[in-house]
Amino acid sequence: MVAGLAFIDGAMALENLLDRSLKILLSFAGLCLTGWAWVQFIRILSVAESISRQAVCAQCHRYGRIDVVDERSSEDLSMKVMTCKCKKCAHIWKINYTLQWRDARI
Ligand SMILES: [Zn+2]
């Protein structure tokens, strides 16, 4: 964002109106792209956190030592369901997650 603002500031020093407009437009497009990438990054982080909260074996309480046995979409395609197996005690359970914002928890 700071780079975008600096870019706009540099554009104001230009005398030619066409060059100035082009630089401002490119700065705005760059800021939009940066904002979109940031939102995608936060969405992926929220999905990863949601999965990590469910990666604890209910039987031996071991965290994160799992094998993914199967991964499917739910019947209404709104969720993904992973069947996991604990590497320590072979307990099997399901982890649910979604890539949609409405169910994502941060
Ligand atoms: Zn276990």
Residue 100 pLDDT grade (very low, low, confident, very high; cuts 50, 70, 90): confident
Higher per-residue pLDDT: 91 or 77: 91
User: Separation of 103 CA from ligand 1 center, angstroms?
Assistant: 27
**C-alpha 20 – ligand 1 centre gap (Å):** 62
Q: Ligand 1 centroid to 82 CA: how many Å?
A: 16
Between the CA of 4 and the centroid of ligand 1 the distance, in Å, is: 49
Quote the tokens at residue 7.
Answer: 């870019």
More confident of the two residues 37 and 14: 37
Q: Quickly state the pLDDT bin for 106 (edges 50, 70, 90).
A: very low
Any idea which residue has 């409405």 for tokens? 102
Question: Which pLDDT does position 74 carry in this prediction?
Answer: 80
DSSP letter (8 states) at residue 55 = -
Place of tokens 């019947």: 75
Residue 21 CA, chain-centre distance (Å), reads: 33
Cα 78 to ligand 1 centre (Å): 28
The predicted model scores a pTM of: 0.66
Identify residues whose C-beta is under 5 A from ligand 1, the ion: 57, 59-60, 62, 86, 88-89, 91
Q: Which residue has the tokens 């964002």?
A: 1
**Alpha carbon distance 98, 37 (integer Å):** 19
Confidence of residue 83 (pLDDT cuts 50, 70, 90): very high
Q: Taking all residues of the chain, what is their mean pLDDT, rounded to a whole number? A: 85
